[in-house]
Chains A and B, each alone.
Chain A
């Protein structure tokens, strides 16, 4: 979805594709919160591009501050598979004991994508993470996703995570956003 998307191009709430996209995000949130990472991997497209750019605090004339060429995450399906396999070892200490997360997804907007069967979906997220007896960590931002149709299902083909923080106020990012 771009800045030039008009209200008329947004799919109505409750329309078939809107509902499918929203359902995809809600189910994904549940899979992640339930640590069903194998099932989550099944929702990822083989050509997935998944990025979370680093952000800086800049003056409005310089835009939103997202840094060209540096990220907190630059992932493919295989690198996310690697992360899931890591969690399945018995030595992934940052997640053993594990984080307890709550992925809250809101403001879902959907438009038709560039290719046949693709949907561009933006949403706002707030992810809370608590672990052991540590205070809450909050991760918030916008996701810009491309969902691609694969038969009856949708798959995540692209995700850009536009994080709200410039200095990450969390000691690590051992969870999925």
Chain B
């Protein structure tokens, strides 16, 4: 990466436009050129995804030594494997001999990671144990101790969620998450046993720029009454379009954002509608400010920069059915400038009661994921936005992100970060794009 003296990276795109012209956070204008553009995609891979802490998985996906799952990290295949020592490690999933993918299933349990091309075998901790016909090498030529699988540069776990980065200079994960940890704990750290993945993720491919997914999950609460108008018509959301406009838009450190939305004044909406049996655990695991926020809200959606989103929302899975909450994690993995592979997980508190597990699962599958009665309409928007914004005429005109910008952060909000009153607004989206620009232009984005 070319670096200029001010700690800025090379700002010019091929046609001479500067990256800084694309995002005007104070003016609330975003250039359409950032979407669906191959040059931007390559720069994002270089400057964001190969440097940031990316979501890799959840510890419950690898319960036993030898368990592996295969994933992508910044567009390259990686394998997460639990070693005999219980540690979860992550490696570039590529043999040191000819580069073959070593672990080829989505998941497996193996004694060794054995390459199917010429048989080089790696231990569960990634060391090269045997090569083929070792006696045919000059003594000293095959230095096995130097030919282990290439480790993901840094791997760390926060509340059961596994992250990795290719950047040796990235700050520790806890620092990267900063005070977003306070909010993540409402969802991932509220019970004694933490959360676990239910089954496996739903995975599907969407023809969208990944940023539309992240943008939507920064806490776009005001798309509900149009994008999800069908669900309003079904009587599954209150008819008044302003009824979900309360709460806060929150910007934590590092451009991580979320919204917090209160339910109607009905005790069943307290604690996000989570099972009451768990409240004593919430009291044990959360501080009083966190506990208050958990009690007073029913819906939250947010995004850990760049592309890990989460949602804890109460929904009705079918007409006449109960309102049930679920917790989902989303990784929006860019596969090209115009395509994204979506990984959608359902998480449950390990200590959640049986009936709730069933209800939460049904509510999640029926409303979100590719078949969800909410989410099917989201993809409609993201795909069309991606296609249309590629137009050269369209690109002469910016996109408007100005809702709620006159509001000042509420100083009485008890949590960390900045919190703007009301959950309809574009502060969190602008924060996301501001952070995006910082990563696209700064040599040390986490420090500036």
Chain B CB count within 10 A is highest, among A59, A92, A95, for: A92
Chain B residue with the shortest CB-CB distance to A78: B318
Selected contact of B229 from candidates A91, A167, A170, CB within 8 Å: A91
- A86-B231 contact given A69-B199, A72-B369, A171-B206, CB 8 Å threshold: yes
A68 at interface, CB cutoff 8 A: yes
Q: How far apart are the CA atoms of A70 and B368 in the complex, in Å?
A: 13
Q: Is the CB of A94 within 8 A of B319?
A: no
Q: Does A2 have its Cβ within 8 Å of any Cβ on chain B?
A: no
Contact code string B96-107 (vs A, CB < 8 Å = 1, else 0): 000000000111
The stretch among B242-250, B269-277, B359-367 that forms the contact with chain A is B359-367
Please give me the residue from chain B that is nearest to A53 by CB atom: B199
Contact A72 B202 (CB under 8 A): yes
Interface size on B, residues (CB 8 A): 46
A130 to chain B, nearest CB (A): 15
Among A70, A81, A95, which residue has its beta carbon within 8 angstroms of that of B319?
A81
Q: Contact between A72 and B365 (Cβ–Cβ < 8 Å)?
A: yes
Q: Any chain B CB within 8 A of the CB of A74?
A: yes
Please name all residues of chain B whose beta carbon is closer than 8 Å to the beta carbon of A62 when the two chains form the complex.
Answer: 105, 108
Query: Which of B167-175, B183-191, B370-378, B390-398 is near enough to bind chain A?
Result: B370-378
Interface residues on A, range: 35 or more
Residues of B contacting A58 with CB < 8 Å? 105-108
CB contact between A70 and one of B200, B207, B375 (< 8 Å): that residue: B200
With contacts A54-B200, A94-B379, A170-B370 known, is A82 near B108, CB below 8 A? no
Which partner residue on chain B sits nearest A89 by CB separation?
A: B233
What are the residues of chain A within 8 A of B228 when measuring CB–CB?
A: 91
Q: A54-B199, A93-B227 are in contact. List 9 more A-B contacts (CB 8 A).
A: A54-B202, A56-B105, A58-B108, A72-B371, A79-B318, A89-B233, A91-B228, A93-B381, A172-B376
Binding site for A on B (CB under 8 A): 105-108, 198-208, 226-234, 317-321, 341, 346, 361-362, 365-366, 369-371, 373, 375-377, 379-381, 383
- Chain A residues with CB under 8 Å of chain B are 52, 54, 56-59, 62, 65, 67-76, 78-79, 81-83, 85-86, 89-95, 166-174
Interface pairs A-B: 4 shortest CB-CB: A70-B199, A91-B229, A168-B204, A89-B233
